[in-house]
Amino acid sequence: MNYFQLFHLPAQFELDLTELGTRYLELQRQFHPDKYAAGSERDKLMAVQQAANINDAYHSLKQPLLRAEHLLALRGLKISNEQRSFMEPAFLMQQMELRELLAEISDAADPDALIDEADQQIQQQKKALLRQLQSALDANTPEHDHQAADIIRKLKFFFKLQQELELLEQQTQD
């Protein structure tokens, strides 16, 4: 299913999230299962199925990594749920350094300062990679799509680090 078509949006990485939200609400109203409560079992089932499709599509298009993966899948390059590791030494070194920084937080004299430092580094890297992803996806060539896939793989590391940092921050505040 093409989520962009479902929402009548252009198949591109950069989306107007307000427009996406508006179209989501319109589709939800149109296909809400309650509207089909008096219908046949087939109509009820189709309404529930369509509502689930709308929810899945909205969830995917709203999040940049899922949106990029869906865009690549539409172009014939499926990377979701793959387990591929990186061999790029500079990237691996950066990941190790950030992981060490996160490991130091719980024992630090000033954990908030380390949290801020880690957050700043992670956000900076995410922004840079998201810009690269936008550029690669906009180019819309097989070579650039493979570059975009590699960028998505890297971004997943940073999004995971961000989640871990948020958990550490909660633990230090408790």
Percent of the chain with pLDDT strictly greater than 90: 80
In order of 23, 81, 95, the CA distances from 169 in angstroms are: 36, 28, 19
Please, which pLDDT band fits residue 33 given cuts at 50, 70 and 90?
confident
Domain range list for the chain: 3-62, 89-173
pLDDT band at 21 (very low <50, low <70, confident <90, very high): very high
Please state which CATH number belongs to domain 3-62.
Answer: 1.10.287.110
DSSP classification of residue 109: S
CB atoms within 10 A of CB 90: 7
Query: Distance of CA 49 to CAs 2, 3, 12, 42, Å?
Result: 15, 15, 26, 10
Q: Which residue has the higher pLDDT, 44 or 86?
A: 44
Mean pLDDT of the chain: 93
How confident is the model at residue 39, as a pLDDT? 84
**What percentage of the chain carries pLDDT values higher than 70?**
98
Find the mean pLDDT for residues 101-113. Answer: 93
Task: Look at the domain 89-173 and name its fold.
Answer: Monooxygenase (1.20.1280)
The pLDDT score that the predictor gives to residue 38 is 85
Task: Judge whether residue 47 has pLDDT over 90.
Answer: no
- Residues 121-145 as b/e (b if ≥16 CB within 10 A, e otherwise) read bbeebbeebbebbbebbeeeeeeeb
Q: Give the pLDDT confidence of 71-94 residue by residue, as tens digits.
A: 999 999 998 777 666 678 999 999
Residue 22 has pLDDT above 90, yes or no: yes
Helix (H) / strand (E) element for 142: namely helix 142-173
pLDDT at position 149 is 95
pLDDT given for residue 115 in this prediction: 96
Task: Give the list of residues 6+ apart from residue 98 with CB closer than 8 angstroms, or none.
Answer: 118, 121, 122, 161
> Residue 116: pLDDT band by 50, 70, 90 thresholds?
very high
CA 162, 164, 165, 169 dihedral sign is: positive
Identify the helix (H) or strand (E) that includes residue 143: helix 142-173
Distance CA 23, CA 62 (A): 12
pLDDT of res. 122? 97
